A and B are shown apart, each in its own frame.
Chain A
Amino acid sequence: MSLTQKKLINDPLNVADELLDGLVDAYDGECVKVGRRSIVKSNIPDNKVALLVGGGSGHEPIYHGLVGRNLADGAACGDIFAAPTPDIVLEATQAVNKGNGVLFLYGNYAGDVMNFDIGAEDAEDEDIDVRTVLIWDDVCSAPPTEKEKRRGIAGLVPIVKMAGAASQTATSLDQLEAAAKKIVLQTRSVGVSMSPGSIPATGMPTFNIDADKIGLGMGIHGEPGVAEIPMTTADELTPMMLDLIFKDFTEDPEVESLKPGDEVVFFVNSLGSTTMMECLICLKKAKQFLNERGVTIYDTMVGPLVTCQEMSGISFSVTRLDDELKSYWNPACESICYSKMETITA
Protein backbone atom coordinates (compact mmCIF):
# COMPACT_ATOMS: atom_id res chain seq x y z
CA MET A 1 0.00 0.00 0.00
CA SER A 2 1.34 3.37 -0.89
CA LEU A 3 1.36 6.22 1.57
CA THR A 4 -0.80 8.52 -0.48
CA GLN A 5 -4.08 7.28 -1.85
CA LYS A 6 -3.96 7.23 -5.63
CA LYS A 7 -7.14 8.92 -6.79
CA LEU A 8 -8.87 8.63 -10.12
CA ILE A 9 -9.70 12.26 -10.71
CA ASN A 10 -8.95 14.99 -13.22
CA ASP A 11 -8.31 18.54 -12.01
CA PRO A 12 -8.02 18.19 -8.20
CA LEU A 13 -9.60 21.62 -7.76
CA ASN A 14 -12.59 20.65 -9.86
CA VAL A 15 -13.68 17.38 -8.25
CA ALA A 16 -16.85 18.71 -6.65
CA ASP A 17 -18.26 19.95 -9.93
CA GLU A 18 -17.29 16.82 -11.82
CA LEU A 19 -18.68 14.43 -9.25
CA LEU A 20 -21.95 16.33 -9.24
CA ASP A 21 -22.20 15.96 -13.00
CA GLY A 22 -21.52 12.26 -12.57
CA LEU A 23 -24.14 12.05 -9.91
CA VAL A 24 -26.71 13.67 -12.15
CA ASP A 25 -25.75 11.14 -14.82
CA ALA A 26 -26.18 8.34 -12.31
CA TYR A 27 -29.77 9.41 -11.80
CA ASP A 28 -30.58 8.75 -15.45
CA GLY A 29 -32.87 11.73 -15.80
CA GLU A 30 -34.58 11.49 -12.45
CA CYS A 31 -32.58 14.50 -11.23
CA VAL A 32 -31.10 17.51 -12.94
CA LYS A 33 -28.33 19.94 -12.12
CA VAL A 34 -29.55 23.37 -11.14
CA GLY A 35 -27.55 26.58 -10.91
CA ARG A 36 -23.94 26.35 -9.86
CA ARG A 37 -23.94 23.15 -7.90
CA SER A 38 -27.33 21.83 -6.88
CA ILE A 39 -29.08 18.63 -7.79
CA VAL A 40 -32.84 18.59 -7.86
CA LYS A 41 -35.51 16.04 -8.74
CA SER A 42 -37.02 16.64 -12.15
CA ASN A 43 -40.61 15.91 -11.23
CA ILE A 44 -41.46 17.42 -7.85
CA PRO A 45 -45.26 17.58 -7.65
CA ASP A 46 -46.93 20.96 -7.38
CA ASN A 47 -47.63 22.01 -3.82
CA LYS A 48 -45.34 19.39 -2.37
CA VAL A 49 -43.70 20.53 0.85
CA ALA A 50 -40.10 20.38 -0.30
CA LEU A 51 -37.15 18.85 1.48
CA LEU A 52 -33.71 20.30 0.81
CA VAL A 53 -30.50 18.79 2.12
CA GLY A 54 -26.91 19.70 1.46
CA GLY A 55 -23.44 20.31 2.70
CA GLY A 56 -19.86 19.93 1.63
CA SER A 57 -18.79 17.45 -1.01
CA GLY A 58 -16.24 14.72 -0.41
CA HIS A 59 -18.49 12.61 1.83
CA GLU A 60 -20.19 10.73 -1.00
CA PRO A 61 -22.66 9.12 -1.34
CA ILE A 62 -24.14 11.77 1.02
CA TYR A 63 -25.44 14.46 0.92
CA HIS A 64 -26.40 14.92 -2.70
CA GLY A 65 -26.81 11.16 -3.13
CA LEU A 66 -29.83 11.37 -0.84
CA VAL A 67 -31.95 13.10 -3.42
CA GLY A 68 -34.38 10.55 -4.79
CA ARG A 69 -37.68 8.74 -4.66
CA ASN A 70 -39.29 9.22 -1.26
CA LEU A 71 -36.15 11.03 -0.13
CA ALA A 72 -34.90 14.60 -0.50
CA ASP A 73 -36.13 16.81 -3.33
CA GLY A 74 -32.84 18.53 -3.78
CA ALA A 75 -29.38 19.14 -2.40
CA ALA A 76 -27.19 22.23 -2.32
CA CYS A 77 -23.62 21.04 -2.69
CA GLY A 78 -20.48 22.75 -1.56
CA ASP A 79 -16.91 22.18 -2.55
CA ILE A 80 -14.91 19.44 -0.82
CA PHE A 81 -15.62 19.70 2.93
CA ALA A 82 -17.07 23.18 2.48
CA ALA A 83 -20.66 24.26 2.92
CA PRO A 84 -22.42 25.44 -0.24
CA THR A 85 -22.44 29.17 -0.82
CA PRO A 86 -25.59 31.18 -0.16
CA ASP A 87 -26.12 31.51 -3.92
CA ILE A 88 -26.12 27.76 -4.34
CA VAL A 89 -28.54 27.36 -1.46
CA LEU A 90 -30.82 29.95 -3.00
CA GLU A 91 -30.76 28.32 -6.43
CA ALA A 92 -31.61 24.93 -4.92
CA THR A 93 -34.37 26.47 -2.83
CA GLN A 94 -35.94 28.17 -5.82
CA ALA A 95 -35.84 24.92 -7.76
CA VAL A 96 -37.43 22.66 -5.14
CA ASN A 97 -40.03 25.16 -4.00
CA LYS A 98 -43.46 24.21 -5.29
CA GLY A 99 -45.39 26.85 -3.42
CA ASN A 100 -45.68 25.14 -0.07
CA GLY A 101 -42.34 26.01 1.41
CA VAL A 102 -38.98 24.33 1.84
CA LEU A 103 -37.50 22.52 4.80
CA PHE A 104 -33.72 22.80 5.10
CA LEU A 105 -32.39 19.68 6.81
CA TYR A 106 -28.63 19.49 7.19
CA GLY A 107 -25.76 18.83 9.57
CA ASN A 108 -24.95 21.38 12.23
CA TYR A 109 -21.62 22.90 11.17
CA ALA A 110 -20.77 26.58 11.52
CA GLY A 111 -20.12 26.93 7.81
CA ASP A 112 -23.33 25.23 6.77
CA VAL A 113 -25.46 27.17 9.20
CA MET A 114 -24.08 30.52 8.05
CA ASN A 115 -24.40 29.78 4.35
CA PHE A 116 -27.82 28.14 4.56
CA ASP A 117 -29.07 30.96 6.77
CA ILE A 118 -28.06 33.59 4.23
CA GLY A 119 -29.62 31.45 1.50
CA ALA A 120 -32.80 31.24 3.57
CA GLU A 121 -32.87 35.02 4.03
CA ASP A 122 -32.43 35.51 0.31
CA ALA A 123 -35.21 32.99 -0.38
CA GLU A 124 -37.51 34.72 2.06
CA ASP A 125 -36.86 37.95 0.19
CA GLU A 126 -38.50 36.10 -2.71
CA ASP A 127 -41.41 35.03 -0.55
CA ILE A 128 -40.34 31.42 -0.31
CA ASP A 129 -41.21 29.96 3.07
CA VAL A 130 -38.13 28.32 4.60
CA ARG A 131 -37.67 26.45 7.86
CA THR A 132 -34.49 24.89 9.13
CA VAL A 133 -34.03 21.71 11.16
CA LEU A 134 -30.44 20.99 12.09
CA ILE A 135 -29.04 17.49 12.43
CA TRP A 136 -26.90 17.09 15.53
CA ASP A 137 -26.72 13.35 16.13
CA ASP A 138 -23.06 13.14 17.20
CA VAL A 139 -23.30 12.71 20.95
CA CYS A 140 -19.54 13.04 21.38
CA SER A 141 -19.41 16.58 20.09
CA ALA A 142 -21.07 18.32 23.05
CA PRO A 143 -23.11 17.46 26.15
CA PRO A 144 -26.89 17.03 25.77
CA THR A 145 -27.40 20.44 27.32
CA GLU A 146 -25.53 22.05 24.44
CA LYS A 147 -27.11 20.39 21.45
CA GLU A 148 -26.59 23.54 19.42
CA LYS A 149 -22.88 22.69 19.49
CA ARG A 150 -23.30 19.13 18.27
CA ARG A 151 -22.23 17.98 14.82
CA GLY A 152 -24.30 16.10 12.32
CA ILE A 153 -22.81 12.77 11.28
CA ALA A 154 -24.08 9.48 9.86
CA GLY A 155 -27.46 9.70 11.57
CA LEU A 156 -28.43 12.03 8.79
CA VAL A 157 -29.08 9.07 6.49
CA PRO A 158 -31.91 7.51 8.51
CA ILE A 159 -33.07 11.03 9.35
CA VAL A 160 -33.32 12.09 5.70
CA LYS A 161 -34.86 8.71 4.83
CA MET A 162 -37.67 9.29 7.30
CA ALA A 163 -38.05 13.00 6.64
CA GLY A 164 -38.23 12.17 2.95
CA ALA A 165 -41.12 9.81 3.58
CA ALA A 166 -42.77 12.37 5.84
CA SER A 167 -42.47 15.00 3.12
CA GLN A 168 -44.51 12.87 0.71
CA THR A 169 -47.62 13.21 2.83
CA ALA A 170 -46.98 16.46 4.73
CA THR A 171 -49.63 19.04 4.00
CA SER A 172 -47.73 21.96 5.49
CA LEU A 173 -44.21 23.07 6.20
CA ASP A 174 -45.16 23.11 9.89
CA GLN A 175 -46.03 19.48 9.74
CA LEU A 176 -42.80 18.45 8.01
CA GLU A 177 -40.74 20.59 10.34
CA ALA A 178 -42.34 18.93 13.36
CA ALA A 179 -41.76 15.46 11.94
CA ALA A 180 -38.12 16.20 11.14
CA LYS A 181 -37.51 17.61 14.62
CA LYS A 182 -38.97 14.50 16.16
CA ILE A 183 -36.83 12.21 13.99
CA VAL A 184 -33.70 14.21 14.79
CA LEU A 185 -34.45 14.10 18.50
CA GLN A 186 -34.59 10.30 18.46
CA THR A 187 -31.38 9.84 16.46
CA ARG A 188 -27.99 9.58 18.16
CA SER A 189 -24.62 8.52 16.81
CA VAL A 190 -21.08 7.80 17.89
CA GLY A 191 -18.14 7.57 15.51
CA VAL A 192 -14.55 6.40 15.71
CA SER A 193 -11.66 6.73 13.33
CA MET A 194 -8.42 4.84 12.84
CA SER A 195 -6.87 6.80 9.95
CA PRO A 196 -7.58 9.92 7.93
CA GLY A 197 -8.81 10.53 4.43
CA SER A 198 -6.99 12.96 2.21
CA ILE A 199 -8.14 16.17 0.57
CA PRO A 200 -8.05 15.79 -3.22
CA ALA A 201 -6.71 19.30 -3.76
CA THR A 202 -3.72 18.92 -1.46
CA GLY A 203 -3.27 15.15 -1.25
CA MET A 204 -2.78 15.76 2.46
CA PRO A 205 -4.52 13.83 5.24
CA THR A 206 -7.21 15.75 7.11
CA PHE A 207 -5.65 14.86 10.45
CA ASN A 208 -3.00 12.71 12.09
CA ILE A 209 -3.45 9.83 14.47
CA ASP A 210 -0.93 7.42 15.93
CA ALA A 211 -0.69 3.99 14.30
CA ASP A 212 -1.84 2.30 17.51
CA LYS A 213 -4.70 4.64 18.39
CA ILE A 214 -8.41 5.02 17.69
CA GLY A 215 -10.12 8.38 17.90
CA LEU A 216 -13.26 7.73 19.95
CA GLY A 217 -16.03 10.14 19.09
CA MET A 218 -14.17 11.55 16.13
CA GLY A 219 -16.21 13.48 13.58
CA ILE A 220 -16.51 12.83 9.87
CA HIS A 221 -13.83 15.36 9.03
CA GLY A 222 -11.59 13.98 11.71
CA GLU A 223 -12.67 16.47 14.33
CA PRO A 224 -11.22 14.98 17.50
CA GLY A 225 -13.71 13.30 19.80
CA VAL A 226 -13.81 12.41 23.45
CA ALA A 227 -10.58 10.43 23.69
CA GLU A 228 -7.80 8.70 21.85
CA ILE A 229 -7.77 5.09 22.98
CA PRO A 230 -5.43 2.22 22.11
CA MET A 231 -6.37 0.27 18.98
CA THR A 232 -8.61 -2.57 20.05
CA THR A 233 -10.93 -5.30 18.83
CA ALA A 234 -14.41 -4.99 17.39
CA ASP A 235 -15.84 -6.72 20.45
CA GLU A 236 -14.17 -4.29 22.87
CA LEU A 237 -14.90 -1.15 20.92
CA THR A 238 -18.52 -1.80 20.04
CA PRO A 239 -19.85 -1.74 23.63
CA MET A 240 -17.80 1.38 24.39
CA MET A 241 -19.46 3.17 21.51
CA LEU A 242 -22.95 1.93 22.31
CA ASP A 243 -22.54 2.85 25.97
CA LEU A 244 -22.05 6.45 24.87
CA ILE A 245 -25.29 6.34 22.90
CA PHE A 246 -27.26 4.75 25.74
CA LYS A 247 -25.75 7.24 28.17
CA ASP A 248 -26.85 10.10 26.00
CA PHE A 249 -30.44 8.91 25.79
CA THR A 250 -30.34 8.60 29.58
CA GLU A 251 -28.77 11.96 30.32
CA ASP A 252 -30.75 14.02 27.86
CA PRO A 253 -33.88 15.33 29.61
CA GLU A 254 -35.54 15.82 26.23
CA VAL A 255 -35.84 12.08 25.53
CA GLU A 256 -36.58 8.93 27.48
CA SER A 257 -33.83 6.42 28.19
CA LEU A 258 -33.47 3.51 25.79
CA LYS A 259 -35.43 0.78 27.53
CA PRO A 260 -36.54 -2.81 27.01
CA GLY A 261 -39.16 -2.99 24.31
CA ASP A 262 -37.80 -0.03 22.36
CA GLU A 263 -37.45 -0.56 18.65
CA VAL A 264 -34.72 1.13 16.70
CA VAL A 265 -33.27 1.53 13.26
CA PHE A 266 -29.61 0.66 13.67
CA PHE A 267 -27.02 1.92 11.23
CA VAL A 268 -23.40 0.80 11.01
CA ASN A 269 -21.61 3.27 8.80
CA SER A 270 -18.12 2.95 7.34
CA LEU A 271 -16.22 6.19 6.98
CA GLY A 272 -14.59 5.03 3.78
CA SER A 273 -11.93 2.37 3.66
CA THR A 274 -13.21 0.37 6.61
CA THR A 275 -14.60 -2.75 5.00
CA MET A 276 -18.13 -4.07 5.05
CA MET A 277 -16.54 -7.12 6.69
CA GLU A 278 -15.59 -5.01 9.69
CA CYS A 279 -18.98 -3.30 9.78
CA LEU A 280 -20.69 -6.69 9.92
CA ILE A 281 -18.38 -7.99 12.64
CA CYS A 282 -19.18 -4.91 14.71
CA LEU A 283 -22.88 -5.31 13.94
CA LYS A 284 -22.83 -8.84 15.37
CA LYS A 285 -21.54 -7.54 18.68
CA ALA A 286 -23.86 -4.53 18.61
CA LYS A 287 -26.93 -6.66 18.08
CA GLN A 288 -25.92 -8.79 21.05
CA PHE A 289 -25.44 -5.64 23.15
CA LEU A 290 -28.87 -4.30 22.19
CA ASN A 291 -30.52 -7.69 22.73
CA GLU A 292 -29.09 -7.87 26.24
CA ARG A 293 -30.75 -4.54 26.97
CA GLY A 294 -34.06 -5.60 25.48
CA VAL A 295 -33.81 -3.15 22.59
CA THR A 296 -35.02 -4.60 19.30
CA ILE A 297 -33.56 -3.74 15.92
CA TYR A 298 -36.51 -2.95 13.67
CA ASP A 299 -34.29 -2.52 10.63
CA THR A 300 -30.58 -2.42 9.94
CA MET A 301 -28.55 -0.25 7.61
CA VAL A 302 -24.93 -1.02 6.94
CA GLY A 303 -22.36 0.38 4.56
CA PRO A 304 -20.14 3.30 3.61
CA LEU A 305 -22.86 5.93 3.26
CA VAL A 306 -21.28 8.83 5.14
CA THR A 307 -17.62 8.89 4.30
CA CYS A 308 -14.66 11.19 4.43
CA GLN A 309 -12.71 10.09 1.40
CA GLU A 310 -10.58 7.03 2.27
CA MET A 311 -10.78 7.64 6.02
CA SER A 312 -11.05 4.47 8.08
CA GLY A 313 -13.50 4.26 10.94
CA ILE A 314 -17.09 3.44 11.70
CA SER A 315 -20.06 4.98 13.37
CA PHE A 316 -23.21 3.62 14.94
CA SER A 317 -26.49 5.48 14.70
CA VAL A 318 -29.64 4.63 16.60
CA THR A 319 -33.06 6.04 15.78
CA ARG A 320 -35.77 5.08 18.23
CA LEU A 321 -39.06 4.47 16.47
CA ASP A 322 -42.64 4.94 17.51
CA ASP A 323 -45.61 4.24 15.26
CA GLU A 324 -45.27 7.59 13.53
CA LEU A 325 -41.57 7.11 12.84
CA LYS A 326 -42.21 3.55 11.66
CA SER A 327 -44.66 4.93 9.15
CA TYR A 328 -41.81 7.07 7.83
CA TRP A 329 -39.34 4.18 7.87
CA ASN A 330 -41.49 1.56 6.16
CA PRO A 331 -41.96 3.03 2.67
CA ALA A 332 -39.61 2.14 -0.13
CA CYS A 333 -37.07 4.71 -1.23
CA GLU A 334 -34.43 4.98 -3.91
CA SER A 335 -31.35 7.08 -4.37
CA ILE A 336 -27.68 6.65 -5.10
CA CYS A 337 -26.97 6.68 -1.37
CA TYR A 338 -29.66 4.45 0.01
CA SER A 339 -32.52 2.40 -1.36
CA LYS A 340 -34.96 -0.01 0.18
CA MET A 341 -38.14 -1.83 -0.64
CA GLU A 342 -41.24 -1.32 1.44
CA THR A 343 -40.85 -2.98 4.82
CA ILE A 344 -42.95 -6.12 5.13
CA THR A 345 -45.09 -5.61 8.21
CA ALA A 346 -46.76 -8.57 9.83
Chain B
Amino acid sequence: MLAIVRLFAIARERAGRAVIEVELADGANVGDLKAALACEVPSLALLLPTIRIAVNSDYADDNSPIPPGADLAAIPPVSGGCEPGIRR
Protein backbone atom coordinates (compact mmCIF):
# COMPACT_ATOMS: atom_id res chain seq x y z
CA MET B 1 0.00 0.00 0.00
CA LEU B 2 1.04 3.60 -0.53
CA ALA B 3 1.71 5.60 2.64
CA ILE B 4 1.54 9.38 2.35
CA VAL B 5 3.33 11.07 5.24
CA ARG B 6 3.19 14.76 6.06
CA LEU B 7 6.34 16.31 7.50
CA PHE B 8 6.52 19.27 9.84
CA ALA B 9 9.04 21.73 11.20
CA ILE B 10 12.63 20.43 11.28
CA ALA B 11 11.59 17.16 9.59
CA ARG B 12 10.08 19.10 6.68
CA GLU B 13 13.15 21.29 6.39
CA ARG B 14 15.65 18.40 6.56
CA ALA B 15 13.70 16.42 3.99
CA GLY B 16 13.24 19.44 1.76
CA ARG B 17 9.59 18.62 1.26
CA ALA B 18 6.30 18.62 3.13
CA VAL B 19 5.05 15.21 1.99
CA ILE B 20 6.75 11.86 1.40
CA GLU B 21 5.20 8.85 -0.26
CA VAL B 22 6.56 5.42 0.57
CA GLU B 23 5.38 1.99 -0.50
CA LEU B 24 4.67 -0.37 2.40
CA ALA B 25 3.69 -4.02 2.58
CA ASP B 26 0.06 -4.60 3.44
CA GLY B 27 -0.20 -5.01 7.21
CA ALA B 28 2.81 -2.79 7.82
CA ASN B 29 3.04 -1.06 11.18
CA VAL B 30 4.49 2.26 12.31
CA GLY B 31 7.93 0.72 12.89
CA ASP B 32 7.96 -0.45 9.30
CA LEU B 33 7.01 3.04 8.16
CA LYS B 34 9.86 4.62 10.10
CA ALA B 35 12.32 2.14 8.60
CA ALA B 36 11.02 2.93 5.13
CA LEU B 37 11.31 6.67 5.78
CA ALA B 38 14.94 6.27 6.86
CA CYS B 39 15.73 4.49 3.60
CA GLU B 40 13.77 6.87 1.42
CA VAL B 41 15.11 10.06 3.00
CA PRO B 42 18.55 9.54 4.55
CA SER B 43 18.56 13.10 5.83
CA LEU B 44 15.75 12.08 8.19
CA ALA B 45 17.52 9.02 9.56
CA LEU B 46 19.22 10.81 12.45
CA LEU B 47 16.01 12.58 13.41
CA LEU B 48 13.77 9.55 13.41
CA PRO B 49 14.52 8.34 16.94
CA THR B 50 12.98 11.55 18.28
CA ILE B 51 10.10 11.70 15.82
CA ARG B 52 6.70 10.27 16.61
CA ILE B 53 4.35 9.09 13.92
CA ALA B 54 0.75 10.23 14.10
CA VAL B 55 -1.88 7.95 12.59
CA ASN B 56 -5.17 9.71 11.95
CA SER B 57 -4.12 12.54 14.29
CA ASP B 58 -3.22 10.33 17.24
CA TYR B 59 0.26 9.47 18.45
CA ALA B 60 1.10 5.89 17.56
CA ASP B 61 3.87 3.55 18.72
CA ASP B 62 5.98 1.26 16.57
CA ASN B 63 3.57 -1.65 16.93
CA SER B 64 0.53 0.30 15.81
CA PRO B 65 -0.98 -0.91 12.54
CA ILE B 66 -1.37 1.48 9.63
CA PRO B 67 -4.87 1.28 8.20
CA PRO B 68 -5.06 1.80 4.42
CA GLY B 69 -5.68 5.45 3.62
CA ALA B 70 -4.68 6.65 7.10
CA ASP B 71 -3.54 10.24 7.59
CA LEU B 72 0.11 9.92 8.52
CA ALA B 73 2.45 12.57 9.88
CA ALA B 74 5.97 12.81 11.25
CA ILE B 75 5.84 14.77 14.51
CA PRO B 76 9.10 16.16 15.88
CA PRO B 77 9.04 16.98 19.61
CA VAL B 78 6.48 19.72 19.99
CA SER B 79 7.06 23.14 21.43
CA GLY B 80 3.93 25.12 21.06
CA GLY B 81 3.69 28.12 23.31
CA CYS B 82 6.27 30.40 24.60
CA GLU B 83 9.32 29.27 26.51
CA PRO B 84 12.34 27.30 25.40
CA GLY B 85 14.61 25.36 27.65
CA ILE B 86 12.49 25.13 30.76
CA ARG B 87 10.91 22.17 32.47
CA ARG B 88 12.15 19.61 29.91
A and B: bona fide binding partners: no
